[in-house]
Amino acid sequence: MRGKMKKQVYNPYLPSWEYVPDGEPHVFGDRVYVYGSHDSFGAPIFCVNDYVCWSAPVDDLSEWKYEGVIYRKRQDPGNPLGIRSLYAPDVTKGPDGRYYLYYAFDFMGEIGVAVCDTPAGEYKFYGKVHHKNGRVWGKKSGEQFPFDPAVLTDDDGRVWLYSGFATKVPFVASRWHNLKNDGGTVAELEADMVTIKQEPKVIFPVKDRPGAFPHAFFEASSIRKSNGRYYFVYSSEHNHDLCYAVSDRPDGGFEYKGVLVDLGDLFLDGNTDEEHANNYLGNTHGGLLNIGDDWYIFYHRQTNRSSYARQACAEKLVRDMNGDFLQAEVTSCGLNGGPLPGKGTYEARTACNLWAEGHKTGRVDGSSPKKRLKDHPYFTQTAPDREEKEDQYIANMKRGATAGFKYFEFDGSESQITVSGTGSGFFEITNGKDIVAKAYIGKKTCFKASQGIYPLYFVYKGEDTASFVSFKIE
């Protein structure tokens, strides 16, 4: 079991200026290491920055430490100018005790491998995943498209590599001889960690193919093993959820089990309407973390009205009577291990629910019409990328825009609340049922919440446009 944490931890759990999506958490020794791709705030494409790593003690998931850059784009001999972007990676400890980093350069259609003696040191280029004849996987017409690698070193030392993507990318098809996109694959690797021992085979078919899951495979392969069972996590055809399947063997026989988390809490309580989700939607990718009896699902959210500035989040999972995971609700608490105190200062960036008037959401990112973007609130910042300044806030809150925070524990005492930001209107604050306060920006307001655990929803009421920075309950 985890010990008492030194401080509160929220979603996103890394600093406001950090953008690490596709997070894969792994326990090595007494620390949790998170490996992911690395977005740049304000960038026009995915994953512009080099790989970095963050870690925390297994007994205190509030104490995240920046481990620095672990692998640079230019280290791969095929990318000396650093033009290609490093997409979602994974790391495993090989049979030889060294740590192997698997990655894909955007849509090139090949998987690279780097190696290091420590989990978060400077990884060195090691090779490309290839067939026994030396040909790199992805260079032959008709092969399955290598993408989003996930890797597992099994208890018996055998190494399993998972991969896959559901959408045919035109320039990839022409560049690499019409590669196939039939679904998620598995291949066994030799002990050298780069040579394919058993050829890739599709075990997670895409939508409308025989054997496809109810939420069919799309991308974001992730693999874990616990108590002799293999847990495969992936993003489905809906693209904003993470689902999972379980098997007693690593190379097939997986049974679909359900959704672990969805960015907009869709599929909870029967809601499937993307235009009225609890949050704005986009792609997501992550993996499972098991510490003692506790399980978590790591994922990412979108910011800045873009799919290219994503931030790391996590939720604790609960099992049902059969031992299956229930879908986690998206919260502000994340790794906190319980509700947040009903006293203190909280940044607006920790909102887990965000929508426009009339509970309108959907996909509001770079692919949406500009006419629509202007109507919706969004997370953003004033500082340039990776300037270590905590200035993230919610922008463009028009009348009826709502920011929700879940959950807080109140003792029933009377308090005062102050909302920081800009705007001449006020925020109507509710607990999901009743109005508990009307707070004008910059002014203290009497605040009374009965004893218990509640969410707080801040609904802007004004004719102008507000920016929401933080709130303080005292």
CA distance 146 to 131: 13
Residue 219 catalytic? yes
Cβ atoms < 10 Å from Cβ of 412: 10
Query: Which position among 76, 148, 219, 347 bears the catalytic label?
Result: 219
- Nearest to 236, CA basis, from 222, 250, 251, 253: 222
Q: In sequence order, what DSSP letters do the residues of 147-196 get, joined into one string?
A: -S-EEEE-TTS-EEEEE--SSPPHHHHHHTTS-B--EEEEEEE-TTSSBE
For residue 438, CA distances in Å to 207, 418, 443, 447 come to 48, 10, 10, 9
CA distance 433 to 437: 12
Exposure of 292 in the CB half-sphere (CA atoms within 13 A): 9
State the DSSP code for 23: B
Tokens 């894969």, located at residue: 24
CA distance 304 to 385: 12
Q: Which residues contact 346 (CB under 8 A, 6 or more apart)?
A: 10, 332, 340, 405, 470, 471, 472, 473
CA distance 242 to 220: 8
Backbone φ and ψ of 174, nearest 5°: -75, -35
Q: Which residues contact 210 (CB under 8 A, 6 or more apart)?
A: none
Burial of 367 (C-beta count, 10 Å sphere; 0-12/13-18/19+):
exposed
- Nearest to 294, CA basis, from 256, 263, 334, 244: 334
The answer to whether 316 and 293 have CB atoms below 8 angstroms apart is no
Would strands 378-380 and 393-397 be described as parallel, antiparallel, or unpaired?
Answer: antiparallel
CA distance 283 to 22: 10
The answer to whether 344 and 418 have CB atoms below 8 angstroms apart is no
The answer to whether 352 and 314 have CB atoms below 8 angstroms apart is no
Question: N- to C-terminal Cα distance for the chain?
Answer: 32
**Residue 51 bridge partners (DSSP):** 71
| Residues involved in catalysis | 22, 219
